[in-house]
Every structure is written in C-alpha cells, then in structure tokens.
Amino acid sequence: MAVTDRLNSVLAALAIKAPCLAATTANITLSGLQTIDGIVLSADDRVLVKDQTDATENGIYAASTSTWQREPDFDGNLDVVKGTMVRITDGTVNQDAYFAVATSNPIVIGTTSITFTQVNNSLLGVSAFVLTLLDDANAAAFMSTLGITTFMQSVLDDVSEDAALTTLITGSTKTTLHNLILPAAADKANFRSLLEVAIFSTGDSKLTYKTTADTGWVLMDDGSIGSAGSGATNRANADTEDLYTLWWNNISDTYAPVATGRGASAAADFAANKAMTMPLTLSRNLLIAGAGSGLTSRALGETLGREDWELIQHNHADTFTVDSGGAHAHSERGYEGTSGANDNAVNMSDNRDILTSGIPTTVSAGSHGHGLSGGVSNAGTHTGGLTQENMPPVSALNIMVKL
C-alpha cells in the first residue's frame, strides 16, 4: 500500500483522528482477526494499537485476516504530531476513552517510539455525562439521561408561558410546590436548627411561652447544669460544657455557684462533675448589668431587691409651743363686797354684787408663749404587721439559654 502524507490533516500541532472501534490493552500480533478489549473484530475495523513491546509499531491499524496495515491517516510522518488524539467507541476497558500521542516531535512512522496516554474527558471540556447524552439513540433516551420526567417533558412541550404555568400548578406538582413552600415538620425543625446555629451562639437568651426547651437550649429554672455525672437538676450532659464555661468565666461564684466551690478552671470543674447553679431568674424582673450614669454598678448575674416590705407599728411623740406675738391685755371681772369696797378676790360664797362699771384689767407687756405638750398616735391610720406591695404590673414568660 502506498504511503501518503496529509499535511492538511494536522492543524497547529493537534489532529483529532476518526474514532477507532477498539484499543489494545496489551501487546498483540499484528495479523489475523482477533478479540481486542472484548470486541470481536471484523476486517477493516479501525483499532488503536498502543501497547506494543516495540513502541515503533504503535498507531492506528485496519484489522485484517492477514497482516494488519496502518490506516491512511496514520501512516505518514505528517499524519501525526505530539497531541494527536483519537476516541475509542467500544470496548470493556476503553469505551468512550480518548488517547493522545505523548511523544515529542518530530515523529517518524516506523522509526520513532510512539506512546499514547489517556486524556481526561474534563480536559476536553466533555464530561462522561455529556458523552452519554451524545450516544443516546433518540430524544426519549436523551430526556431519560437528563432525568427529565414525562411531566417535565409536557412542560417543555407547552407552546406558551401561560400553558407551562398551568401545567406546573396542576397535578402532582401542587404537592411539590407545597412541600417547597411549607416543608414537613422534620424539615422545619432542621431548617430552624440551621438558622439558630447561624443567629444564636452559646449564652444567648430568648423569651418564650414554651415550657420545654428547644433542642440545643435549656430553660432557666433556677436549677443547675453540668456533666453527665454531675447530678445537675436541669441538664446533666456533655453538651452543657460551653455554657458552663461561659458562666464560669463571666459570672462570679456568688451568682453562679459551683458545687463545693470553684477550682482552677471551668474545664477542671466540669471534668470533676461539679454542678453549677444557674443565675436566678424565676419571678424576677430583668436588670441590665453595668454602671449606668449616676447609678449603682451591677454585676453580671447579680440578683437583688424584694417583692414586698412588712410595716412596723410605731408612735410619733412631739412638744408643741403656741407663741403670742406683741403686747395684749386680759380683762378681769371685779366684785363689790357688802362693805362697799372693791374686792378682787373671787369668793362666790360671799353675798357680793357684780360691778357694773370700772372693770379692772391686767396687762401683759411684750410677747410671751404658752407651752403645750402632747403626742401623735398612729392609731386609725396605719397598723404594724402588714406588708406593702412593691411590684409594678408585669407579664410572666420563660427564658431559654443557648447551650
């Protein structure tokens, strides 16, 4: 057979040859019809020979009942360069594989050892999935490979947007859309947990009317938390360690006491199974920690105040003085005795006549005071032994804390 070089078959150091039916997996005898990679060959089938012991024999051949000959597009020095590729269509091992010449230029057919390497389909920009699509025999197989259901095919076949929307919101798709918009309870819980992880962190609190803590939270109930062996009354579990550590570091033992007293660290106390009492919250108003301007500083977790006070019975004693300012006069009645003389002595037993004129007076020169002593009693106004309510109007809720 004549050897013909096709310069125009090689473009910019890369040529993609016509596909081969099969590719070798080991050294073969280049004669006679045989089975290559599970494919029973017929005369003139194209075969990529790539595994010869003598690598100068590698190339593309036409199968024959006698001696194999190189194919016309791979029998001349200008037919192949480094990077020349060929696709294999069938075979147990090499189906849909691409192989490229890895030998450096120049290449002399029959003299140069030619090696082939398998090309990753991703380097070609073609995935195995796309190759499968390309191999599909008809549209139905193509749709099936894409995973497009009969229902979705009907949507694609709709001639207008309105028709597609009508198809989408009828039938089984209603259920699908409903599940997307209103997910099942388990999905809601998982979604809420994901949101809480993103929004809340250890020690964050939230008000609630729930009486059971959400997953990953504890209700503040004046109880205690700690390790599984701590005997804590609220939650004894390893998942409380982060909150335990936060309180240990930020709140004094006065307001978050650790059983038998605090040790060297939160980690040591937790490992020693010491329960920690929660900061007290039940039936208490919230107070912001810190030192407000002109106000008393309050520590984090601090509790104080009373709900009511008992009134104690008591008396108030005092002395009162009545003051008279300026001079003033006091009138005095006189009596006339039987002897006819004026007599200032008052004696009602005497038979005397009351003077009708010339009434004498006594004069007080300057100001003077009159002393008055007395006591003020609490009787009838307030009584001891009762309590005075100090609580403003309130509304009671529970508090959860993130573990």
Last residue of a domain, one of 118, 135, 152: 135
Same domain flag for 109 and 30: yes
Q: Which range of residues forms the domain containing residue 3?
A: 1-135
What's the pLDDT tens digit per position in 283-327? 888 888 999 999 999 999 998 887 776 766 666 555 555 555 555
Same domain flag for 127 and 18: yes
> Exposure string (b/e) for 78-116, b if CB count within 10 Å is 16 or more?
bbbbebbebbbbbbeebbbbbbbbebeeebebeebebeb
Nearest one of 46, 40, 82, 79 to 62, comparing CA atoms = 46
Taking residues 152-163, report their average pLDDT: 64
The verdict on pTM exceeding 0.75 is no
Same domain flag for 263 and 403: yes
What's the pLDDT tens digit per position in 25-69? 999 999 999 999 999 999 999 999 999 999 999 999 999 999 999
Point out the least confidently predicted range of 105-119, 139-153, 310-324.
Answer: 310-324
Taking residues 206-211, report their average pLDDT: 93
What's the pLDDT tens digit per position in 237-250? 999 999 999 999 99
On whether the CB atoms of residues 322 and 291 are closer than 8 A, the answer is no
Averaged confidence pLDDT in the chain: 77
| Tally of structural domains, the chain | 2
> Exposure string (b/e) for 305-337, b if CB count within 10 Å is 16 or more?
eeeeeeeeeeeeeeeeeeeeeeeeeeeeebbee
Residue 78 lies in a domain: yes
Return d(Cα 76, Cα 80) in angstroms, integer: 8
Q: What is the DSSP letter of 238?
A: G
Same domain flag for 266 and 401: yes
Q: In the prediction, which pLDDT does 229 show?
A: 96
Residue 355 lies in a domain: no
Residue 400 lies in a domain: yes
Q: What is the DSSP letter of 298?
A: B
Residue 170 lies in a domain: no
Return d(Cα 108, Cα 102) in angstroms, integer: 14
Same domain flag for 218 and 120: no
Last residue of a domain, one of 117, 135, 153: 135
Which one is predicted more confidently, 373 or 226?
Answer: 226
Same domain flag for 114 and 206: no
Residue 268 lies in a domain: yes
Taking residues 111-123, report their average pLDDT: 82
Residue 84 lies in a domain: yes
Last residue of a domain, one of 110, 135, 160: 135
**Is it true that the peptide bond before 360 is cis, omega within 30 degrees of 0?**
no
Write out the H or E segment, with its range, that includes residue 316: strand 316-324
Residue 317 lies in a domain: yes
Same domain flag for 111 and 236: no
Q: In the prediction, which pLDDT does 15 show?
A: 72
- At 130, phi and psi to the nearest 5? -65, -40
On whether the CB atoms of residues 390 and 320 are closer than 8 A, the answer is no
